[in-house]
Amino acid sequence: MSLSRYILRRLALTAITLLGVIIAVFLMARVLPGDPVTVKAGQYATPEIKEQLRIQMGLDKPLPQQLATYIGNVLQGDLGQSTRSGHTVREDIGQRLPVTLELALASLIVAGGIGIPLGIYAALHHGSKRDAGIQQLAIFSAATPVFWLGLVLIYLFYARWNIAPAPVGQLSTNVEPPRTITHLLLVDSLLTLNWTTFKDAAGHLILPVITLSVVVMSPFIKMARTSMLNVLGSDYITAARSLGLSDREIIRQDALKNVMVQLLTVSGIVLGYLLAGNVLVETIFAWPGLGFYAWNALTGSDYDAIQGFVLVVAVIYVFLNFFVDLAYTLIDPRIRLA
């Protein structure tokens, strides 16, 4: 199969999945306990007011028609309106996505930056004490409840030693946010040479990034170690050894690229998790990102916001998968031409 046909096929599958996702999200909101009208109308609303709202929100129409309207709206980028913020969900999510992205990328870089070398190191010293130690680290990191770790870090570094800034958001109140360029505070403050802001933003990032990266480090360590071991145990490494290539050359020329192919998948999964799944950490650190938004929407029964969040997260996830697959295909010639 040619590459372009492969991509087209994958895209078609992705489109089907996305349609399914939209329908699932639509149905989810119908099943959530409580009634969106009640939430909008408030505790003491009369039936008349609610009926009026119901018509206004189009909820009196038959379900398939509502679904059609919903799909139409979603395709036009209209995700509805948040009852809590009063803004369109699109605006809200647009604002929070970069916030989450900053935390996610930072954690990914830290976790990958530490986890991958550790995993590779462990594989290279397979069976040694150091290998065992690194494996233990990975096992502990995978077993740590992320919400608990966040709390412990806050207790130690903020409440007890007062080293870290208050675990509230991205910046201290008295610090001006930088001019928006990339929407990433750290990058923007660096680009605008705003050191105070940079330091403050970095300070706020430290604890949540540690929390997240400890937890997502495990897959990096494990995957790097396993795939490195697999590669090292593979016939072509033995063959390369038999040719007199040094370990360094072999690792650089033969092993790393093969390991990276595996790690790409892990990175995709981890990034997806970080972008979408860190509801817990964002809640604990009041990090004004997607997860925190979703959490507030969920407890506040902000239906459009929940729908919007779930949808956006699923779309990100699906596309991340798609791009990981694509990158995989581009790197590994076996898949490309299989």
Partner 1 sequence: MTEMHRPLLAIEHLSIGFPNERDGTMHPVVRDSSFVVNRNEVVGLVGESGSGKTQTAMSVLRLTKPPGQVLHGRILLDGDDILQMNDIQLRQVRGNRAAMIFQSPRTSLNPLMTIGNQVGRIYTRQRGMKKKDAGDATLEMLRRVGIAGPARVAASYPHQLSGGMAQRVMIAMMLACDPELLIADEPTTGLDVTIQAQIFELIQEIQQETHMALLLITHDLGVIAEVCQRVVVMQLGRIVEIAPVDTLFADPVHPYTRRLVGSILRPDLEVLPAAARGNDFPPVVLEVGGDRYQAVSVDSWRSVNVGRPEMVEVAPGHQVLAHAVDAPSEAVA
Partner 2 sequence: MAASIPTTPHANAGGESWSNDWVQLELVDPDAAETGYGRKRNALAILGFIALGLVLLMAILGPELAPYNPNKPDPAVTLQGPSREHLMGTDQYGRDVFSRVLHAARLDLRVAISITAVALIVGTLVGGLIGFYGGVLEHVVMRIIDVILAFPGFVLALGIAAMLGNSTRNVIIAVAIAYIPYYVRLVRSEMLALREQEYAAAAKVVGVRKIRILLYHLLPNALPIALAQATLTLGWGILDAAGLSFLGVGIRPPTPEWGVLVGEGAQYINSGQWWISVFPGLAILIAVLGFNLVGDWARDRFGPR
Partner 3 sequence: MEQERNNRSAELTQALNSRGLTRRNLLAAFAASTAMIALKEGASAAPYSAQQVRALAQETGAAAKLVIANGQDLDEADPHYFKSIPSYYLMANAYDNLFGHPYVEQEDGGLTPEVDENDDWVLEPWLVESWETSEDEKVLTFHLREGLTFQDGSPLTAQDVKATFDRGVSPTSVYSNLVFNLMTITSPDQIAAPDDLTVVLTLEQPTAFAYKILATNVFNIMSAAALEEHATEDDPTAHQWFSKNTFGSAAYTLTKWTPGVEWELSLNENFWNKDAVLNGGVLNRTIPSPQERLSLLVNGDVDIAFDLLPKDLSELASNPDIAVLDFEIPWPQYLGMNNRIPPFDNVDVRRAVSHAIPYQTIIDQVMYGYAKPLKSPCAEGMPTSDPSFWAYDGGPERAREILEGLGLSDFSFDIAVRNGFPTHEQIAVWIQSSMMEAGANVNILKMTDAEYLEKFNSGALQSWVGEWYSWINDPIYHLNFNFHSAATATNGAGYSNPQVDELIDAAMYEPDKETRDQMSRDIQQIIVDEAPWGLLYQINYVVATRANVSGFQYNPDTTSKYWLVSKS
> Least separation, in Å, of the C-beta of 307 and partner 3?
13
Beta-carbon contacts of residue 212 (< 8 Å; ≥ 6 apart): 103, 104, 107, 111, 146, 274, 278, 281
Q: What is the 3-state secondary structure (H, E, C) of 91-158?
A: HHHHHHHHHHHHHHHHHHHHHHHHHHHHHHHHHHCCCCHHHHHHHHHHHHHHHCCHHHHHHHHHHHHH
Run of H or E residues at 217: helix 195-233
> Least separation, in Å, of the C-beta of 329 and partner 1?
13
Choosing from 6, 157, 295, 328, the residue that interacts with partner 2 (CB under 8 A) is: 295
DSSP label of 160: I
Beta bridge partners, 81, equal 88
Binding mask 136-175 for partner 2 (x = CB under 8 A): x--xx-xxxxxxxx-xx-xx--xxx---------------
In degrees rounded to 5, what are phi and psi of residue 81? Answer: -125, 140
Beta-carbon contacts of residue 308 (< 8 Å; ≥ 6 apart): 79, 80, 82, 89, 90, 92, 93
Which lies closer to partner 3 via its Cβ, residue 41 or residue 216?
41
Q: How many residues does the chain have?
A: 338
Contact stretch for partner 2 (CB under 8 A) within 66-74, 111-119, 279-287, 324-332: 279-287
Interface positions with partner 1 (CB under 8 A): 126-127, 233-236, 238-247, 249, 253-254, 257-258, 261, 331-334, 337-338
From CA 302, how far away is CA 300, in angstroms rounded?
A: 5
> Least separation, in Å, of the C-beta of 197 and partner 3?
15
Q: How many CB atoms lie within 10 A of CB 9?
A: 11
Which lies closer to partner 1 via its Cβ, residue 12 or residue 239?
239
Q: How many CB atoms lie within 10 A of CB 243?
A: 9
Interface positions with partner 3 (CB under 8 A): 32-36, 38-39, 41-46, 49, 52-53, 82-87, 91-92, 95-96, 158, 166-169, 172-174, 286, 288, 292-293, 296, 298-301, 303
Which lies closer to partner 1 via its Cβ, residue 154 or residue 324?
324
Which lies closer to partner 3 via its Cβ, residue 41 or residue 274?
41
Which lies closer to partner 1 via its Cβ, residue 136 or residue 246?
246
Which lies closer to partner 1 via its Cβ, residue 104 or residue 259?
259
Where does this chain bind partner 2 (CB under 8 A)?
Answer: 13, 16-18, 20-21, 24, 28, 31-33, 127, 129, 131-132, 135-136, 139-140, 142-149, 151-152, 154-155, 158-160, 272-273, 276-277, 279-280, 283-284, 294-295, 298-299, 306, 310, 313-315, 317-318
